[in-house]
């Protein structure tokens, strides 16, 4: 019983504690599922949200894309009204790709300074 693990505090070290400086134009480091999603979008773009979820075991792909956008990455989402995925018709599927420039997305530093970031 003396081998208890220390509880993990959720939210420690998240992307939202990162501050950016417009003079430092180095993209932020991404890790975990965000890094996996970024790599898959780069490799397969455009990539369907269903592919991220079903083929790569990323259950909350939209949340990871949201995290990447919060870090300033220029991820473009196209909503497809109807697609066929694994023999089933799916509606309103997200298709992710990278815009140009990849980072920072246009307007990112202006939004950070104004406090109106989306």
Domains annotated for the chain, with CATH where assigned, are 30-114 (1.10.10.10)
Q: Is the pLDDT of residue 30 over 50?
A: yes
Q: Is residue 94 within 8 Å of residue 49, measured between CB atoms?
A: yes
Q: Is the pLDDT of residue 23 over 50?
A: yes
- What per-residue confidence (pLDDT) applies to 37? 95
User: Given pLDDT bands bounded at 50, 70 and 90, which one contains residue 33?
Assistant: very high
Listed range (2-11, 30-39, 52-61, 93-102) with the worst mean pLDDT: 2-11
54 CB-near residues (< 8 Å, 6+ apart): 85, 86
Mean pLDDT of 89-103: 91
| Cα gap 90→86, rounded to integer Å | 10
User: Given pLDDT bands bounded at 50, 70 and 90, which one contains residue 3?
Assistant: low
CA dihedral 112, 106, 32, 45 (to 10 degrees): 160
Mean pLDDT of 13-42: 74
pTM: 0.71
């Amino acid at each position: 019983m003396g081998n208890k693990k220390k509880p993990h505090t959720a939210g420690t070290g998240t992307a939202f504690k990162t501050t950016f400086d417009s003079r430092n134009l180095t993209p932020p480091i991404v890790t975990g599922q965000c890094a996996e999603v970024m790599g898959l979008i780069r490799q397969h773009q455009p990539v369907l949200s269903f592919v991220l979820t079903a083929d790569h075991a990323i259950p909350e792909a939209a949340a990871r894309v949201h995290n990447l956008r919060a870090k300033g990455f220029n991820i473009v989402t196209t909503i497809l009204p109807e697609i066929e995925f694994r023999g089933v018709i799916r509606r309103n599927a997200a298709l992710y790709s990278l815009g140009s420039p990849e980072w920072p997305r246009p307007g990112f530093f202006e939004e950070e300074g104004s406090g109106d970031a989306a």
